[in-house]
Structure 1
Amino acid sequence: MSPLPTRMVNRWQNRQEPGPGQGTLYWHILVGDQPEARDLAHTAQKRLAGFRGLHMTPIEWLHITTLVVGPTGETTTEQQRTMLTAASQLLAALPPVTVTLSRVLYHPEAIAVAAHPSDPLRQIRAAVQTATLNVTGHEGHTEGSAQWTPHMTLAYSESDQPADPIIAALGRKVQAAEFNINTVTLVAQQGPERLWDWRPIGTVALGCH
């Protein structure tokens, strides 16, 4: 998400999205139940509230997107259950992770905060990617780019406008939030992304021997 963008763009203008009855399957680290993450998002979103064309992430669905599995129609209910079991076995060997959010990331389509340290989060991603590959025959993908940068998105851009005033308003860092990550969740997102029709299928605990 660098260098800094000069303009924000409409994320959904030319984006292919699921139609009626369709959805996308994700592995997400859900953090909306973490008071520290909620407070950070509330403060940052309040500072961004004066700008038009920003679609804020609902506090309850704050998350770190870990892996895009693919269209929901390409995996059966049984495969989803098997993926959860496989991920549970792999993630049992990984301890819970203490993460810090503070550095703001700017992209033409979104505003986010980076999650550090990244290495333990990459281990979590590798585990769910292996579980996905073993069950479905494909390993999923990273949304938007080939390289995965762990982050929590604060807002998505839905219009064209200069980025500089937004960057000036929020800055490059916010007050740090630190909390523990203990679980990863398989989520079915029904319909277009911005409708936030999320249906958690199952949650896997870290370090659960």
Structure 2
Amino acid sequence: MSPLPTRMADRWGRRRSQGRIYWHVLLGDDPHARAVAQDARDRLEGVPGLDPVPPAFLHLTTFVAGSADEITGDQVGVMAQEAAGQLARVEPFTVTLGRVLYDPEEVALEARPAERLRPLMEAAKFATRAATGRDGYLPHGSWTPHVAVAYSNADGPAAPVIEALGERLPDREVTIRSIHIVEQDDATATWRWRPMAEVRLGAS
């Protein structure tokens, strides 16, 4: 993700509708994640060209398993079992949200330190391969864990967005207790997704 892009781009107009299976850390029930996201929404109020992420859909995308039409429900169950085995000795932990990341298609908060989240990504990679025989992929091609707070729905200058939000918000600590497997159509802003399985950290 670029720290300071010069232009925003329409996220939805560049995507075709396709269901995918994601590994998400769901944060919609976390009061600290909701609070920092609300702070971002308040600062961005009135800035055109943005779709704020609804509080219930706050998430940290960890890994993409693949297309929904290539992964069966039974394979999702195996993915969850394999990930549970990998994460049985990983106890819940905290990450900090506060530093703002900018991409032409989204505005996000970096989750730090990334090293704490790496076991989740590695478990998702292992479980996806074990269950499907195929490799998934990182959503941005590289590992920068983040929580999106708004997506761009228009082409235009980035300066108004950056001026409204800045480069930092007050830090909030968020506790990570589980990771979910979610079926999602990521080509629209209507949030068509369905949690399919939850893997809790530190569960035997």
Structure 1 residue aligned with 2:58:
62
* Alignment partner of 2:170 out of 169, 175, 178: 175
Candidates 112, 123, 127, aligned match of 2:123: 127
1:17 alignment partner in structure 2: 17
How far did 1:138 drift? 1.6
Alignment of 1:161 onto 2:156 = yes
Residues 75-102 of structure 1 show CA distances to partners (whole Å, capped at 9, x for unaligned) of 1111111111111111112121211001
**Deviant stretches of 4+, over 6 Å:** none
Say how many residue pairs are matched: 204
- C-alpha contact (below 8 Å) 1:101/1:115 kept by paired residues: yes
Asked if 1:204 corresponds to 2:199, the answer is yes
Q: What is the deviation of 1:50?
A: 0.6
Check whether the contact 2:8–2:155 (CA below 8 A) recurs between aligned residues.
yes
CA contact (8 A) 2:95 2:116 kept: no
SS of the aligned residue for 1:95 comes to coil
Equivalent position of 1:114 in the other structure:
110
Cross-structure match for 2:190: 195
1:7 alignment counterpart: 7
How far has the Cα of 1:190 moved from its partner? 4.1
In the alignment, what sits opposite 1:36? Answer: 32
| Secondary structure, counterpart of 1:195 in structure 2 | coil
CA deviation digits over 1:6-50, x for unaligned, max 9?
Answer: 1111112222222xxxx2110000011110000111111121121
TM-score, with normalisation over the residues of structure 1?
0.93
AA aligned to 2:14 is N
Residue segments in structure 2 that go unaligned for 5+ positions in a row:
none
Structure 1: 5+ residue runs without aligned partners? none
RMSD: 1.2
For the 8 Å contact 1:190–1:199, the answer to whether it is kept is no
| 2:85 corresponds to | 89
Distance 2:42 2:169 in 1: 12
Q: TM-score scaled by structure 2?
A: 0.96
Taking only the aligned residue pairs, the percentage that are identical comes to 44
Closer/same/farther in 2, CA of residues 151 and 191 from structure 1, 3 Å limit: closer
The 3 A distance-change label for structure 1 pair 193 and 84 is farther
Deviation (angstroms), 1:53: 1.2
Query: Deviations 1:145-193 (Å, cap 9, x if unpaired)?
Result: 3212100000000111211121111110001110210100001114734
